[in-house]
Amino acid sequence: MAPKKGSGSTKPKVASSKIKNIKESSKQKKNASEKKQLRRNNKQDDKGNGTKGKKGVPVPETPERELTEEDFAMLDENSTSLQFLAKVKPDELTKKVEKGPRPEIYDQRPSKEDDISSDEGFDSYDSDEGIDYSNDSDQEQDYELRPRSISSWNTADSNRLPIKTKEGHLHAVKEDATEAKEQDDQEEIESEDSSEEKEEERASEDDTSNVPSVEEPQIPPRQQIQLDKEELASFAQKLLEEPEESLHVFKSIFGKFQSPLITTKKLSLLTALAVFQDLIPGYRIRPLSDEEESTKLSKEVAQRWSYEQTFLKHYMRFIEILEFIFKSYPSLENDVQKSLYEVAVRCVSRLIEHVPHFNYHDKLLTLAVQQLSHKSKRNNFDMLMKSLGTILKEDNLGRVSLDCVKLLSKMFKHRNYDVLPDVYDLFLNIQILSDMELKDSSNEPTKLKKRKQDRPHLTKKARKTLKETKEIEKEMKEADAVISAEDRERFQAEVLKMVFLTYFKTLQARSKLLGNALEGLARLSRLINVEFFGDLLQVLRELVLDDNMLLAEGKPAVQTTREALLTVSTAFEITSAPGVNKLNLDLDLSIFIQRLYRLILPFSLNPDADLTYKVNRLRDPDAPTKKTVVNASTQMEMILKCYQSFFFKSKSVSPARLAAFSKRLAISSLQLPEHSTMAAIALLTRLVSRYTKLHRMFTSEEQIGDGIYQPFVEDPELCKSSTAMLYETFLLKNHYSPTISRSANGLFKVSTE
Amino acid sequence: MRPLTHEETKTFFEKLAQYIGKNITHLIDRPDDPHCFRLQKDRVYYVSEKAMKLATSVARTNLMSLGICFGKFTKSNKFRLHITSLDYIAQYARYKIWVKANGEMPFLYGNHVLKAHVGRITDDTPQHQGVIVYSMNDTPLGFGVTARSTVELTRLDPTTIVGFHQADVGEYLRDEDTLF
C-alpha cells in the first residue's frame, strides 16, 4: 500500500509521522468500508488527475488519522525489520519503474552443448544488473519459443527392443542411421512394387555393414532377361488359367516394368497386352453404384463384381503406364528407348482395334490421337493409323466413330489445322455415313400433339403401371443390344455435324490441308444441309476471289491447280446436290466458271495430269518418289467432272460459254498426255453431239460473229469464241496413238452430220 | 460534239459501273478498234475513233447522231442509260437474270420481274444491283435493278418482285418517237 498523502507535495516528512501513516494504513486494511472509500478515492483520483505524478502511479486518497497506541506497540515489536522504512521515499514509490536495457542473453540461441534441459538451467538469468526490461510485451520471448530438449528423451534412436547380453545385462540395440533411412525409403515406395520391396528388404538384411545404396547381386543382363521371360510367362499362364484367383499377379507384371532393363519393360508390356486381350470380357463393365455395393448379394455375384472391379483397376494401371511412356517420349534419347515407345504404341493400337466396346476406350483414343498430333511422324505411326482406320471402317453403330471424330476434330482445332495430311484423311475412312440420306425435314408430316380430350383416360394406378412397364421395356431393350435404327441415325447426324464443322473451319483457316478438306466435302456433298450450303459457297467463293485477284495482278495464285480444281468441282457438286433443288433456283456460278476457264490452259501443261497407279508410264527417276494416293482423283478426272456437271447437268448453257470452253478443251488436248487426250476427245464428241450449235465451229464457211477469237483473254464471255474454229481434230488425226486418231476421226464425222 | 468533261465522265462511268463493273476498260481499251465517248446535245455516244474523226467535219447543228447512243444527261446532270446501249452492256454484264418463257412478255411490256418468272440468276447478286435481263436463249431483253439479293430469294413467295424494270427492248416500239 503506498503511503497516502493529501497533496502531491514533496515536503520531507519526519519518520515518526511516516510511521504514523503506516500504522494507519495497516489498520485500514482490515476495514472493508475504508477499502471501498479507497476505491472510490482511487477513481476520483483518476478522473481528477490530482495526485498522479508525471510518471507516477495514481495514489489513492485517504484521510489522515492519528496513530493509536496499538500502532506504536506494533512498531516497537518489529523495529528491526521495519528499519528500511527510514530510507523509503514516498515519491519514489509512486514513481513509475523504468526497465533497463534488455539483457543480451535473452536473444542468444542455446548452442547444442548447452544442455539447458536440466531443470535448474534458468538460474543464469537471475543476474539482473543493468537489465532492460522494456520489452515487456505479452508476446512470447525467444527463450520461450525454443524447444525443450532433454537428453534423456533422445535415447530411443532405435525401434528395437533391448537385448539381454550373455552377462545378463539389458542394453538397447543401436541401429545405424543408414538402415533407418532405408526403412523410411521403403515406406515411401508404392505398394504395387511389392516384389522390389522384398528384394530390398532382403538385401538390407544381408548387409550388416553400412552400405548406403542397395544393389542386387550382379546378374548378366542376358540371364536376367531370360529369368524375366520365364517369370512373365509363368505369370501369364497363371492369369489365364485362373483369372479370378490370380489378379494380384498383375501387380507383379507391372513390377517387372520397373526394372532398369528395357527389354524387360517391353516384355512386361507385351505380356500384359496379351493377357488383357484374352481376358477382357465381351461386355462393358459398369462401375458399381453405391446402393448396389451396399445390398446383400449372393456369394457368386459378389465374387464376380469384386473380380470385375479389381480387373478394371489393373486395366487402368496398365493404361496409366502407357500414358507415362507416351509422356516421356521427348526425353528418350536413343533408339533402344524409342523401341519401348513403339511397343507402347503397338499395345494401344491393338487394344483400340480389338476391344472398342470396353471401358476406357475413349482414354485409349485420346492417347492415340495425342500421338498422331505431332508434326513429325513418330515410330509406329502407321500402326496407329491403320488401327484407327479399321475401327472407323468397321463401326456399325456409330458411337466409336463419334468419339474418334470428336477427339480428332478437337486435336485439329488445337493445332490450327496444321496436321499431317494422312491424319486428316482419316476422316475419309468413316463408313457410317456412306448409307446416310439427307433427311428432308419439311417432307415429314408434322405430328400434331394430341389434344387433351383425345388422350385416352388412365387411372392413377394404370398410369403408374404403364410407366413401370415402359422402364422395364427400356432395360430389356438395352439387354437385347440390337442396333436400333434411331440410335444409328442419331450417331450419324452427330458424326456428320462434327465432320462438316471441321472441314468448314479448315477452309476458313486457309490451312495447307485445303485440298483434303475440299475432297472430303465433295464426297459428302449430297448430305449437306441447305442452310450450310450458303455459307459453304461463300467460303469457296472467297477462296476463288483471292486467287483471282492475285492472278489479275500477275502474281501466281496461292492455290495449286489441284486445290483450285477441287474448289470449283466442290462448288458444282454442292449446287447440283439433290437437296438444293428444293430452292427452285438455278444458280449461275460465274465466278467458279471463270476460275475453271482460267485453269484449263495451265493444267494442260502438267505432265502428271492423269498420273495414277494405273498409268503405264515410266517413273521420272529424278523426281522425288511420291506415295500414290489411290482414292484421290486425278486432275483430269476432276476437270471431266466439272465439265460434266456444268454442261450436262445444268439446264441451259449460254452459247458463248459453250464455245469458249470447247475451244479451250481442244487446245489443251493437244498438250495433254495420252489418256487425258483420249478423255478430252470423248468429252468433245459428247458435247458436239449434244449441242448442235457447235457444229459451226468445225466449218469455216458460215461466218457469224464479231471480231477475232482471243485465246488469252481469261473470261469465257469476252473471248469472242463464236469465231473460234476447232481445227485440232485434224491435228489429232495424226496422233501417234492409233486409238486417238480413230476417235478424232469419229469426232470429225459427228461434227459434219 | 465534244468530249466529256471530268465530272460528266465520272457520273457516266459510275452509272455504267453499276451494270458492267470493271469491264468498262474493255469498252475503251479495244485493241482492234479503239472507241471513245462523245457528247452531243446532252447525249452520250459510243463511237469508233475513225467515225468520230469523220464526224468532226459535220456542223454541230447538222449532226444528228453518231455511233451508238448510250444515254443522256438530264437537266440536273444525272445520267440516264437508254435501251440502245443494251448490246454493249449485255456483253460485259456482271450480274444477270434469266427470265422464263412465261415471264418474257410481261417484262417486255414494262412490268417488273417477279420471282415466278425467274429462270436463273447469277450467284451472289447483292440487293439494289444493276442487272441485265436475258431470255432463256441468252438474248438480252433489257436491264434493271435487283429488289432482293440471291440469298434472300430462296425464301420468298412467287409473286414478289425480284427486279425493277428500267429499260426493255419493247421500248423500241413504244417510245419510237422519243428514242433518238
The predicted-structure confidence for A585-605, as pLDDT tens digits, reads as follows: 667 778 888 888 888 888 888
Q: Using the beta-carbon criterion (under 8 Å), do A590 and B138 form an inter-chain contact?
A: no
**Cell numbers linked to A370:** 495425342
For residues B28-39, give the mean pLDDT.
Answer: 86
CB atoms < 10 A from the CB of B25, how many?
Answer: 10
Taking alpha carbons only, the member of A585, A572, A593 closest to residue B100 is: A585
Q: How does residue B101 score in pLDDT terms, banded at 50, 70 and 90?
A: very high
Is A237 an interface residue toward B (CB < 8 Å)?
Answer: no
Q: Does residue A665 surpass a pLDDT of 70?
A: yes
pLDDT score for A316 = 87
The CA distance from B83 to the nearest CA of chain A, in Å, is 21
Is B39 an interface residue toward A (CB < 8 Å)?
Answer: no
**Secondary structure letter of residue A692 according to DSSP:** G
Most confident of A185-199, A279-293, A445-459: A279-293
Q: Compute the distance between CA of residue B125 and CA of residue B145 in angstroms, rounded to an integer.
A: 11
Q: Compute the distance between CA of residue A70 and CA of residue A490 in angstroms, rounded to an integer.
A: 114
The CA distance from A699 to the nearest CA of chain B, in Å, is 23
Taking alpha carbons only, the member of A61, A59, A84, A65 closest to residue A26 is: A65
Per DSSP, the residues of B120-146 read EEETT--TT-EEEEEETTS-EEEEEEE
Q: How does residue A532 score in pLDDT terms, banded at 50, 70 and 90?
A: confident
Q: Does residue A20 surpass a pLDDT of 80?
A: no
User: Counting every residue, how long is chain A?
Assistant: 753
Least confident of A460-469, A607-616, B123-132: A607-616
pLDDT score for A632 = 56
Does an H or E element contain B72, and which? strand B68-73
Q: Using the beta-carbon criterion (under 8 Å), do B124 and A541 form an inter-chain contact?
A: yes
Q: Using the beta-carbon criterion (under 8 Å), do B121 and A588 form an inter-chain contact?
A: yes
Is A731 an interface residue toward B (CB < 8 Å)?
Answer: no
Is A692 an interface residue toward B (CB < 8 Å)?
Answer: no
Is A537 an interface residue toward B (CB < 8 Å)?
Answer: yes
Most confident of A264-268, A519-523, A596-600: A596-600
Contacts of B123 in chain A (CB under 8 A): 537, 541, 587-591
pLDDT score for A214 = 41
The model's pLDDT over A648-660, given as tens digits with 9 standing for 90+, comes to: 877 677 888 888 9
Q: Does residue A195 surpass a pLDDT of 50?
A: no
Q: How does residue A189 score in pLDDT terms, banded at 50, 70 and 90?
A: very low
Q: Does residue B73 surpass a pLDDT of 60?
A: yes
Which one of A587, A652, A707 has the shortest CB-CB distance to B123? A587
Q: Using the beta-carbon criterion (under 8 Å), do B121 and A587 form an inter-chain contact?
A: yes
A153 contact partners, CB below 8 Å, separation of at least 6: none
pLDDT score for A451 = 64
CB-based burial label for B162 (10 Å; 0-12, 13-18, 19+): buried
Q: Using the beta-carbon criterion (under 8 Å), do B121 and A586 form an inter-chain contact?
A: yes
Q: Using the beta-carbon criterion (under 8 Å), do A655 and B138 form an inter-chain contact?
A: yes
Strand partners, B68: B46
Least confident of A22-26, A454-458, B8-12, B174-178: A22-26
| Contacts with B, A 64-123, CB within 8 Å | none
pLDDT score for B132 = 94
Q: Using the beta-carbon criterion (under 8 Å), do A718 and B154 form an inter-chain contact?
A: no
A137 contact partners, CB below 8 Å, separation of at least 6: none
Q: Does residue A625 surpass a pLDDT of 60?
A: no
Q: Which residue of B has its CA nearest to A534?
A: B151
Q: Compute the distance between CA of residue A687 and CA of residue A183 in angstroms, rounded to an integer.
A: 91
Q: Does residue A211 surpass a pLDDT of 50?
A: no
Which one of B91, B119, B154 has the shortest CB-CB distance to A583? B154
The full set of domain ranges for chain A reads: 1-44+91-137, 225-394, 492-614+629-650, 652-753
pLDDT score for A175 = 57
Is B116 an interface residue toward A (CB < 8 Å)?
Answer: no
> In whole angstroms, what separates CA B145 from the centre of its chain?
11
Q: Compute the distance between CA of residue A616 and CA of residue A740 in angstroms, rounded to an integer.
A: 17
Q: A91-99: long-range contacts at Cβ-Cβ below 8 A with a sequence spacing of 24 or more?
A: A91/A10, A91/A53, A91/A56, A93/A2, A93/A3, A94/A2, A94/A53, A94/A56, A94/A57, A94/A59, A95/A53, A95/A55, A95/A56, A95/A57, A96/A55, A96/A56, A96/A57, A98/A134, A99/A131, A99/A132, A99/A133, A99/A134, A99/A135, A99/A136
Contacts of A716 in chain B (CB under 8 A): none
A366 contact partners, CB below 8 Å, separation of at least 6: A407
Most confident of A13-27, A346-360, B99-113: B99-113
Mutate to test the interface with B, among A539, A576, A581, A590 (most CBs of B within 10 A): A590
Phi, psi of B145 (to 5 degrees): -130, 140
For residues B105-134, give the mean pLDDT.
Answer: 91
Its pTM stands at 0.60
Q: Which residue of B has its CA nearest to A709?
A: B32
Q: Using the beta-carbon criterion (under 8 Å), do B26 and A718 form an inter-chain contact?
A: yes
**Cell numbers linked to A492:** 450419324
pLDDT score for A655 = 81
Order the strands of the B161-168 sheet from edge to edge. A586-588, B118-122, B96-99, B130-135, B140-146, B161-168, B113-114
A667 contact partners, CB below 8 Å, separation of at least 6: A601, A604, A711, A728
For residues A652-678, give the mean pLDDT.
Answer: 86
The CA distance from A281 to the nearest CA of chain B, in Å, is 55
Q: Does residue A630 surpass a pLDDT of 60?
A: no
Contacts of A652 in chain B (CB under 8 A): 98, 119-120, 136, 138
The CA distance from B81 to the nearest CA of chain A, in Å, is 22
Most confident of A312-316, A381-385, A544-548, B168-172: B168-172
The model's pLDDT over A97-117, given as tens digits with 9 standing for 90+, comes to: 666 666 666 666 555 444 444
Q: Compute the distance between CA of residue A198 and CA of residue A186 in angstroms, rounded to an integer.
A: 10
Q: Using the beta-carbon criterion (under 8 Å), do B121 and A585 form an inter-chain contact?
A: yes
The model's pLDDT over A487-498, given as tens digits with 9 standing for 90+, comes to: 888 888 888 888
Which one of A588, A651, A655 has the shortest CB-CB distance to B96? A588
Which one of B32, B150, B154 has the shortest CB-CB distance to A707? B32
Q: Are A744 and A669 in contact (CB under 8 A)?
A: no
Is B156 an interface residue toward A (CB < 8 Å)?
Answer: no
Q: How does residue A187 score in pLDDT terms, banded at 50, 70 and 90?
A: very low
**Cell numbers linked to A511:** 490451312
Cite the DSSP H helix spans in B21-176: 24-28, 49-55, 86-91, 101-108, 150-153, 171-174
The CA distance from A664 to the nearest CA of chain B, in Å, is 20
Contacts of B122 in chain A (CB under 8 A): 587-588, 590
Q: Are A691 and A658 in contact (CB under 8 A)?
A: yes
Question: What's the sign of the alpha-carbon dihedral A719, A722, A727, A729?
Answer: positive
CB-facing half-sphere around the CA of A4: CA atoms within 13 A: 19
Q: Using the beta-carbon criterion (under 8 Å), do B123 and A717 form an inter-chain contact?
A: no
In chain B the first and final C-alpha atoms are separated, in Å, by: 16
**Secondary structure letter of residue B56 according to DSSP:** T
Q: Does residue A32 surpass a pLDDT of 60?
A: no
Angle of helix A177-188 relative to helix A194-206, nearest 10 degrees, comes to 170
Q: Are A681 and A740 in contact (CB under 8 A)?
A: yes
Mutate to test the interface with A, among B124, B139, B146, B155 (most CBs of A within 10 A): B124
**Which residue in this structure is represented by grid cell 479399321?**
A390
Does an H or E element contain A550, and which? helix A530-552
Task: Check residues B135 and A217 and name the one with the higher pLDDT.
Answer: B135
Contacts of B96 in chain A (CB under 8 A): 588
Q: Does residue A203 surpass a pLDDT of 50?
A: no
Q: Does residue B175 surpass a pLDDT of 80?
A: yes
Q: Which residue of B has its CA nearest to A713?
A: B26
Mutate to test the interface with B, among A538, A574, A588 (most CBs of B within 10 A): A588
Q: Which residue of A has its CA nearest to B138?
A: A654
Average pLDDT value over all residues in chain A? 73
Per DSSP, the residues of A417-469 read T-S-HHHHGGGGG--TTTT-----TTTSPPPPPPPTTTSPP--HHHHHHHHHH
Contacts of B148 in chain A (CB under 8 A): none
Contacts of A705 in chain B (CB under 8 A): none
β-pairing, A586-588 with B2-3?
Answer: unpaired
Q: Which residue of A has its CA nearest to B139?
A: A654
CB-based burial label for A477 (10 Å; 0-12, 13-18, 19+): exposed
Q: How does residue A57 score in pLDDT terms, banded at 50, 70 and 90?
A: low
The CA distance from B158 to the nearest CA of chain A, in Å, is 11
Is B139 an interface residue toward A (CB < 8 Å)?
Answer: no
Q: How does residue A123 score in pLDDT terms, banded at 50, 70 and 90?
A: very low
pLDDT score for A424 = 78
Per DSSP, the residues of A636-662 read HHHHHHHHIIIIIISS---HHHHHHHH
Q: Compute the distance between CA of residue A419 and CA of residue A613 in angstroms, rounded to an integer.
A: 26
For residues B34-52, give the mean pLDDT.
Answer: 92
Q: How does residue A191 score in pLDDT terms, banded at 50, 70 and 90?
A: very low
Is B28 an interface residue toward A (CB < 8 Å)?
Answer: no
